[in-house]
Structure 1
Amino acid sequence: MTVISSSIPRRAGTATSLTRRMSGLGKLAVIGAVVLVSACGLPRSGPNKKEIYAGSVDRGGNTHVIYVNDHVARTANFSPAYGFSSDFRNASTVGADEIRAGDVLGLSIWENVDDGLLASMGTSSTALTELQVDSQGYIFVPYAGRVRAAGNTPDQLRQLITQRLETQTPDPQVMVTRMAGDGATVSVMGKVNAQGVYPIERPTRTLSAMLSKSGGVAIEPEIAVVTVKRGNSSGKVWLKDLYTNPRNDIALRPGDVVLVEEDQRSFTALGALGGQTKVPLGNEQINAVEALAMVGGLSTALADPTGVFILRDEPQGVARAVLGSNAIQGTQRMAYVLDLTKPNGLFLARDFMIRDGDTVYVTEAPFVQWQKTIGSITGTAAQVGTIDSALGG
């Protein structure tokens, strides 16, 4: 009995020592794991500057990383212009009273004889109603045959029919009236106060006049874009350019479709900013400072002001001018870098224009990652202490 009782304390001491060793090893293992995870697995808003630079063309990547200076700011400020082609601008105005296919005409014909070609016995006049202009632009008049009506005014058509009939009846008198159909029409759609199909009349032969006829635009003029579709072609113009440049106030043609819509251009904001979202440009041109302000500016707790990137696909012509090389072929990926800590950094950002489809990305400051690492270590160490206490350490 004595031997058995004396052996029990020694076994208990051995178990306690083993538990302490395991607790110590557990601490080291957990701390080591935290350090490893903090180096490569901490949450963040995106790549850091070093990782972006690693993808540059100079380092074997496919992106040109370019620091913005005065030359770059001027050269990269290319913006695809809206406007109408020469076909739109050179089109002549349409006569408001021209006859069109689909119009319904009425003819009144007087003959200077008692027994005329068309008139009934005892009458000297004949009324022909419901003469619809066919798809090829013609109408049929007895004894005159097929007469081209489309493209002529009612008076011109009257003369044509008179010439055809006067060889068969003396001194015929013809009157032409449009019974139905508006002749030349234009469809006005979109952000206007009164959508509809409008005739091209003398006061509404031009684009600006037709927009006024439809009640004007229903959105802010600064963001209104007007598109005119004509057959298989189309052109668009800023509303303000329509009124400031007379050449944009084009003559309308029959069948034109006029669409007024809000500017659809946008940029995407990501990274250490006050907001991460897709942002409408909201105006014809905005610069990088305005773009940052539109999403709440740089995050004071996260952002690295030396790492403001503008990412875009640059067309060949602009890429060649920026890089100073005519060997550049095709569209190029560009990452423009703005360092707001430099003396003229904010001026350069003010001069650098944001384009449709751009991505504005701001990297996190290196200190932020360090804080996250320390927080991860200290937070996990506290958890380890809790585990140690549970193990009896």
Structure 2
Amino acid sequence: MDFSKKLIFSAVASLLLAGCTVVPGSHLSLPDNKQQEDNDAFSVSEQVNVYPLTPSVIRQSKRPEASARTNPALDAELNGYEYYIGPGDILNITIWDHPELTIPAGSYRSSSESGNWVHADGTIFYPYIGTVLVGGKTVTQVRDEISRRLAAFIESPQVDVNVAAFRSQKAYVTGEVNTPGQQPITNVPLTLLDAINRAGGLAKDADWRNVTLTRQGGEQPISLYALMQRGDLTQNRLLRPGDIIHVPRNDAQKVFVMGEVNAPQLLKIDRAGMTLTEALSSVGGINELEADATGVFVIRNVHKAQSGVVQTTTVQTNQVMADIYQLNIQDAAALVLGTEFELEPYDVVYVTAAPIARWNRVIRQLLPTITGFNQLTEGAVRVRDW
């Protein structure tokens, strides 16, 4: 064996002895994968749950699908709805057959300009009867109060009361809607869906699955997807004064597609959701020359995963870092399973490299060294012959 062959043999042997650590690029290897961190050794295999993607696993991991439902509780609230007067409202009070007690609006004054302003203490002033507490009352209660007190001065007074301007109570729509801002609470019931529509509807980057309704310091999760796409009316709410509807951006609705695919990239989950097959299709599919078709993985951080994901493991949940789902697409028909597997925000879709691809990477790194050895040896032979 000449000198160059000995050098090449030594280099290859040393690489083989060193093992997989010299293989360039990343690779997901599930068994016997260990790390050392902060001098505390632990086995990654004990920190993750691994599930082969089978029909049964997909059924267990699937979130309950929203469906069309009625909302009897909301219907009852709407049927019994009444507006309660508050400070800042303007009342229009009419005493029939007694124009001297009814402030005329005139040709150039609206009812809101000529009406009775409700003061900060919830009262108004009215001729003959003086101060009347109207705050927190309905127009029917105010009408009865004024009629009762005017009866001491007018025989059988005919009183009509209505709200000329609703200014005391508001709900707010913030976030990714076309015209965020306040929505007045009036004598016409205002629902969450009404408020969204009045705000111009959802903006392009809205996350309509994770809308929140803040009421008296507490938050209620709302799915506009279930309400608007699936007809689940239980997601609708009757709004009350001070309610805040917030529609977040879909910045958190992202998944990462990495490894042996044709165009690794970050993908945004759209309003209809995203399946594993859709994610692979969006990046051009797997690299048919480099990918291991048995090694299509979905890595899901259990702390970020949404509720409803399967947790069938003997390891305590607080010790688990991630759930890993493995799809074998050696038979392309298995991609049908991928169409049923819904991705969650911050999922990592990783396609591992085939063993031959990893070996080829080693050889590609060796070629410059081998070429250099050959040139060095040939130069030495020429010098000797000379």
TM value normalised by structure 2: 0.71
Question: 1:89-119 CA distances to partner (integer Å, 9 max, x unpaired)?
Answer: 588238575423332446678999xxxxxxx
**Counterparts of residues 145-164 of structure 1 (less than 5 Å):** 145=131, 147-153=133-139, 155-164=140-149
Aligned to 1:219: 204
Matched, 1:287 2:275: yes
CA contact (8 A) 1:316 1:331 kept: no
**Counterparts of residues 306-317 of structure 1 (less than 5 Å):** 306-312=294-300, 313=302
Task: State the secondary structure of the residue aligned to 1:353.
Answer: coil
Matched, 1:103 2:84: no
Corresponding letter in the other structure for 2:328: D
Q: Deviation of residue 367 (structure 1)?
A: 0.3
Question: 1:278-325 CA distances to partner (integer Å, 9 max, x unpaired)?
Answer: 3222144433212211222111232101011122227898545x45x6
Identify if the C-alpha distance between structure 1 residues 228 and 315 changes in structure 2 by more than 3 Å, giving closer, same or farther. Answer: closer
The count of residues paired between Structure 1 and Structure 2 equals 354
d(CA) in 1 for partners of 2:319, 2:340: 23
Higher Rg:
1
Q: Find 1:138's aligned residue among 117, 122, 126.
A: 122
Identify if the C-alpha distance between structure 1 residues 359 and 80 changes in structure 2 by more than 3 Å, giving closer, same or farther. Answer: farther
Q: Deviation of residue 248 (structure 1)?
A: 3.0
Q: Deviation of residue 385 (structure 1)?
A: 2.8
Identify if the C-alpha distance between structure 1 residues 182 and 95 changes in structure 2 by more than 3 Å, giving closer, same or farther. Answer: farther
d(CA) in 1 for partners of 2:368, 2:87: 81
Q: Find 1:43's aligned residue among 24, 30, 38.
A: 24
Task: State the secondary structure of the residue aligned to 2:288.
Answer: coil
Task: State the secondary structure of the residue aligned to 1:47.
Answer: coil
Identify if the C-alpha distance between structure 1 residues 24 and 363 changes in structure 2 by more than 3 Å, giving closer, same or farther. Answer: closer
Corresponding letter in the other structure for 2:122: Y
Identify if the C-alpha distance between structure 1 residues 315 and 287 changes in structure 2 by more than 3 Å, giving closer, same or farther. Answer: closer
Task: State the secondary structure of the residue aligned to 2:299.
Answer: strand
d(CA) in 2 for partners of 1:348, 1:74: 10
Q: Deviation of residue 359 (structure 1)?
A: 1.7
Unaligned runs of 5+ in 2: 37-41, 104-113
**Counterparts of residues 20-99 of structure 1 (less than 5 Å):** 39-50=20-31, 61-78=46-63, 89=74, 92-93=77-78, 95=81, 98-99=84-85
Q: Deviation of residue 190 (structure 1)?
A: 3.7
Aligned to 2:236: 249
Corresponding letter in the other structure for 1:238: L
Corresponding letter in the other structure for 1:139: T
d(CA) in 2 for partners of 1:388, 1:278: 48
Q: Find 1:238's aligned residue among 211, 221, 224.
A: 224
Task: State the secondary structure of the residue aligned to 2:292.
Answer: strand
d(CA) in 2 for partners of 1:29, 1:316: 54
d(CA) in 2 for partners of 1:254, 1:287: 40
Question: 1:203-244 CA distances to partner (integer Å, 9 max, x unpaired)?
Answer: 663333333333333439996765433332333123463362
Matched, 1:340 2:302: no
Identify if the C-alpha distance between structure 1 residues 24 and 77 changes in structure 2 by more than 3 Å, giving closer, same or farther. Answer: closer
Matched, 1:376 2:365: yes
**Counterparts of residues 356-375 of structure 1 (less than 5 Å):** 356-375=345-364
d(CA) in 2 for partners of 1:52, 1:83: 47
Aligned to 1:266: 254
Q: Deviation of residue 378 (structure 1)?
A: 2.5
d(CA) in 2 for partners of 1:184, 1:162: 26
CA RMSD of aligned residues (A): 4.6
CA contact (8 A) 2:47 2:319 kept: no
Question: 1:232-282 CA distances to partner (integer Å, 9 max, x unpaired)?
Answer: 233312346336233333322223333445544222222212233332221
Q: Deviation of residue 71 (structure 1)?
A: 1.7
Task: State the secondary structure of the residue aligned to 1:102.
Answer: coil
d(CA) in 2 for partners of 1:287, 1:52: 28
CA contact (8 A) 2:261 2:284 kept: yes
CA contact (8 A) 1:133 1:150 kept: no
Unaligned runs of 5+ in 1: 1-19, 113-122
CA contact (8 A) 1:266 1:279 kept: yes
